[in-house]
Amino acid sequence: MNARWIATTVLALMGFAAPAWAQARASAAPEDVTPAELQRMFDGYSILQAQESLKLNDDQYARFLPRFKALLDTRRQTLQQRTRVLNVIRRLLMEAQPDEGMLRDALKQLQEIDTRGEADAKRAYEGIDQVLDLRQQAKFRIFEEQMERRKLAMVTEARARQANRLNRQQQKP
């Protein structure tokens, strides 16, 4: 079975269906897109890139995809929980007399989220490593680093393009 077919199927089941979705959206006018949608698109992009970067065979790729998705979900879930607690702390600190008991509880909750997040991520990595050989495990660490850089570059590029568009509009008489 073709690896790209596997990816499309898995992504479709996960709610991405990236290539088909991308081709459909390419011809249509861009609509407003939420941060959550963009984050899911980034996940789909990472999943598609992984196959070629890690040189996964079809069998490996089929087993790798749900595990990689689990790692991404774990990270995102931890980040969301963390952000929520940080917002609570920020709100408490804006008060003239912050409730120390609530602050203490929030800090404790933050600690628990970090601890649980690290443990979940470790389990997810172990699951991924089970389907990869040693070189692929090493490549996967590098791949993740490169993906983070690539995503940041895209965000930066998006900002620059929008800034250029605004400049051109302002220069027009």
Partner 1 sequence: MGHLTPALLVDLAEGIKADQSVPHLAQCDACRRALAELRATITDVAWPGNPEHGGSDVPEPSPLFWDHLSTRVREAVAEQGAHRRARWFEAWSRPLVALPLLATVTAIAVLAVVTLRKPLVPNPIPATPLPILQSTLLPSLPPLEPLGAPDDPALALIADYGTSLGWDELREEMAGVSHSGGIDEAVITLSTEERQELQRLLEEEMTQPSALGAS
Does 38 help bind partner 1 (rule: CB under 8 A)?
Answer: yes
Does 122 contact partner 1 by CB under 8 A? no
Picking from 103, 93, 56, 19, the residue whose alpha carbon sits closest to that of residue 9 is 19
Q: Are 147 and 72 in contact (CB under 8 A)?
A: no
Q: Rounded to an integer, what distance in angstroms lies between the CA atom of residue 108 and that of residue 9?
A: 41
Instruction: Encode 138-160: b = buried (16+ Cβ within 10 Å), e = exposed.
Output: ebbeebeeebeeeeeeeeeeeee
165 binds partner 1 (CB under 8 A): yes
Closest CA to 46 of 169, 154, 161, 132: 154
Query: Is residue 78 near partner 1 by the rule CB under 8 A?
Result: yes
Using the rule CB under 8 A, is 128 a contact of partner 1?
no
Q: Does 26 bind partner 1 (CB under 8 A)?
A: yes
Segment contacting partner 1 by CB under 8 A, of 44-52, 91-99, 103-111, 125-133 = 44-52
Q: Least Å distance between CB 66 and partner 1?
A: 19
- Residues forming the site for partner 1 (CB under 8 A): 18-19, 22-23, 25-26, 30-35, 37-39, 41-42, 44-45, 48-49, 52-55, 75-76, 78-79, 83, 139, 142-143, 146-162, 165
